């Protein structure tokens, strides 16, 4: 069945499954099968922020004062996050919009993916501020082996689903020969399985893969270094916490069978595979921590502690989607991180401040009270 | 805002069954392993556990991230607002759950 941008069929959208039912026609929200997705949209919109509102002027000086191995930690994390948000800024749209069947979920996917583009733009904001030649950093994302290894893991489920849906939309159900890939079977069961695995791998991306990087950013900020960056990471972490709830809802709704009975069967069949996706990602993140600290640790963090944190957070995320926990670590080894991750008191500079973001050095972040003595406030 | 949107109810397997009450000053026992913590219905469970020196994982503290999910072995809690996060059956979200009876909770096994 080919995709239609405005499906002319008459059907009751309240009876459609989340995915692989009718293509959405009227974008209406007066009746909703799963109202949670509109609540997520509202929350996401209330979180709206712009990278340019965050003052990064002291970060440049801080960065120059970091030791070389600390600069490596900082830049490597930025590269990895840039990769993750490059994927997330497009893939939910490309992979999920052609197969979604509920208006509220369709709009959540678009809202979600849009917020990722803010994250991507914030990395450019950060990088332009600390180095003179951003190209070197961006180019390394497609060259650096440690990063490209990860690019493969985060994109392979999306890419497979997209390929299968393309075949389904042009050829329908059946087995098709794809040059270079051999025979690809397109059945409803195979499509739904590819979808379920994709949503799980996205949950892992947003709920686990970001957290090593978050921890490092906040560890710098604990030492009052790179505080503008930490402010941006707080805003990103707040968005990501909402995104992971979105995929947890999708996974749990699928597994419950309440949305689509066939999905419950697939979820049960895939249980081991899903566990494997979580565990493999956790192992990769632990390896990433070792790569970050290969030339030296930073105060308050080392590869071992970060590895334990990855295990701990993976247990939390596995439990949230109904999986048994896997790792031995039952306590958070860096409990101070939660005070940074908490969303209250996230403040950006007031909009009136008109911070001209890239004019480095023009904005003085170091004013203290006395500097305002002459001002009538 | 005090209306109860959702009540989780598990029959106690141990101890006495308690009758939930609307009385705000009501104190309930929270059993956690060998510890017993007294809580009121005035505030969510998370902040009261923290005051008792117990570390609970959290992130948003607003019911949308599920980081504070804890096992509810028995007893009743309610949510003044329906949380955005999915609440697994047999679990509670500590940051926004109001304890409504004596309860027993557990972290990871
Ligand atoms: S801390 Fe986020 S749901 Fe409780
Ligand atoms: Fe993101
Ligand atoms: Fe995200």
Residue B22 has pLDDT above 80, yes or no: no
pLDDT band at B13 (very low <50, low <70, confident <90, very high): very low
Parent domain of B63: 23-106
In a domain, B60, yes or no: yes
In a domain, B10, yes or no: no
* Residues across chain B: 109
Residue A356, chain B, CB below 8 Å: the answer is no
Instruction: Check A319 against B108: CB less than 8 A apart.
Output: yes
Q: Are strands B69-78 and B103-106 parallel, antiparallel or unpaired?
A: antiparallel
Residue B9 has pLDDT above 50, yes or no: yes
Find the range with the poorest average confidence among A243-252, A298-307, B7-16, B60-69: B7-16
Tens-level pLDDT at each residue, chain A (377 residues): 689 999 999 999 899 999 999 999 999 999 999 999 999 999 999 999 999 999 999 999 999 999 999 999 999 999 999 999 999 999 999 999 999 999 999 999 999 999 999 999 999 999 999 999 999 999 999 999 999 998 999 999 999 999 999 999 999 999 999 999 899 999 999 999 999 999 999 999 999 999 999 999 999 999 999 999 999 999 999 999 999 999 999 999 999 999 999 999 999 999 999 999 999 999 999 999 999 999 999 998 999 999 999 999 999 999 999 999 999 999 999 999 999 999 765 444 433 333 333 333 333 444 444 444 444 43
Nearest to A338 among B58, B66, B107 (CB): B58
Q: What ipTM score was computed for the predicted complex, to two decimals?
A: 0.86
Q: Which residue minimizes the CA distance to atom 3 of ligand 1?
A: B63
In a domain, B6, yes or no: no
User: How many domains does the structure of chain B reveal?
Assistant: 1
Query: How far is the C-alpha of A286 from the C-alpha of A315, rounded, in Å?
Result: 14
Kindly indicate whether the domain formed by A54-346 is annotated with CATH number 1.10.620.20.
yes
CATH assignment of the domain containing B60: 3.10.20.30
* Comparison of pLDDT for B4 and A189, the residue scoring more: A189
Residue B19 has pLDDT above 90, yes or no: no
Query: How far is the C-alpha of A309 from the C-alpha of A276, rounded, in Å?
Result: 19
In a domain, B53, yes or no: yes
pLDDT reported for residue B8: 56
What is A137-179 written as a DSSP string? HHHHHHH-HHHHHHHHHHHHHHHHHHHHHHHHHHH-SEEEEET
Three-state DSSP state, A322: coil
Instruction: Check B66 against A245: CB less than 8 A apart.
Output: yes
pLDDT reported for residue A377: 38
pLDDT reported for residue A217: 97
What count of other Cβ atoms lies within 10 Å of the Cβ of residue A315? 22
Would you state the structure tokens that stand for residue A249, as one six-digit string?
Answer: 């809802």
Mean pLDDT of B13-23: 49
Degrees, nearest 5: CA angle A219-A220-A224: 115
Active site residue A123: yes
In a domain, B84, yes or no: yes
Degrees, nearest 5: CA angle A86-A91-A93: 125
Query: How far is the C-alpha of A303 from the C-alpha of A297, rounded, in Å?
Result: 7
Q: Would you say A306 and A289 are in contact if contact means Cβ atoms under 8 Å apart?
A: yes
pLDDT reported for residue B6: 53
Instruction: Check A241 against B60: CB less than 8 A apart.
Output: yes
Structure-derived torsion over alpha carbons of residues A142, A146, A150, A152, reported in degrees to the nearest 10 = 60
């Amino acid at each position: 069945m080919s995709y239609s941008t405005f499906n002319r069929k008459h059907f009751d959208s309240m009876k459609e499954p989340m995915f692989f039912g009718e293509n959405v026609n009227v974008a209406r929200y007066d009746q909703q099968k799963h109202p949670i997705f509109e609540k997520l949209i509202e929350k996401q919109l209330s979180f709206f922020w712009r990278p340019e509102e965050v003052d990064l002027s002291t970060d440049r000086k801080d960065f120059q004062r970091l030791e070389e191995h600390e600069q490596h930690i900082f830049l490597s994390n930025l590269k990895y996050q840039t990769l993750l948000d490059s994927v997330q800024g497009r893939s939910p749209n490309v992979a999920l919009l052609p197969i979604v069947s509920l208006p509220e979920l369709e709009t959540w996917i678009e809202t979600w993916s849009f917020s990722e583009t803010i994250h991507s733009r914030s990395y450019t904001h950060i990088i332009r501020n600390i180095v003179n030649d951003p190209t070197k950093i961006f180019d390394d994302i497609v060259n650096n082996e440690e990063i490209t290894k990860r690019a493969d893991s985060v994109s392979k489920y999306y890419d497979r689903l997209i390929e299968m849906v393309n075949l389904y939309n042009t050829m329908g159900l059946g087995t098709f020969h794809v040059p270079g890939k051999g025979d690809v079977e397109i059945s409803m069961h195979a499509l739904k399985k590819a979808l379920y695995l994709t949503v799980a791998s996205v949950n892992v991306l947003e709920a686990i893969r970001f957290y090593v990087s978050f921890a490092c950013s906040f560890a710098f900020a604990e030492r009052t270094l790179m505080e503008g960056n930490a402010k941006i990471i707080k805003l990103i972490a707040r968005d990501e916490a909402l995104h992971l709830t979105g995929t947890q809802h999708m996974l749990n709704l699928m597994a419950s069978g309440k949305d689509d009975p066939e999905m419950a069967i697939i979820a049960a069949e895939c249980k081991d595979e899903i566990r494997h996706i979580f565990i493999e990602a956790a192992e990769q993140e632990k390896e990433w921590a070792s790569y970050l600290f290969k030339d030296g640790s930073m105060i308050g963090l080392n590869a071992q502690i970060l590895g334990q944190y990855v295990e701990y957070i993976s247990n939390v995320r596995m439990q949230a989607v109904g999986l048994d926990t896997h790792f031995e670590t039952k306590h958070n080894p860096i409990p101070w991180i939660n005070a940074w991750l908490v969303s209250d008191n996230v403040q950006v500079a007031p909009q009136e401040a008109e911070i001209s973001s890239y004019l480095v050095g023009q904005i003085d972040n170091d004013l203290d009270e006395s500097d305002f003595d002459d001002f009538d406030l | 805002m005090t209306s109860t949107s959702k009540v989780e109810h598990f029959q106690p397997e141990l101890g006495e069954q308690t009758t939930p009450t609307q009385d705000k000053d009501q104190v309930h026992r929270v059993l956690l392993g060998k510890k017993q913590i007294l809580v009121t219905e005035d505030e969510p469970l998370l902040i009261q556990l923290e005051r008792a020196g117990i570390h609970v994982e959290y992130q948003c503290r607003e019911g949308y991230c599920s980081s504070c999910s804890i096992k509810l072995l028995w007893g009743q809690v309610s949510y003044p607002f329906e949380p955005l996060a999915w609440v697994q059956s047999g679990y509670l979200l500590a940051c926004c759950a109001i304890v409504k009876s004596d309860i027993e909770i557990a972290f990871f096994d």
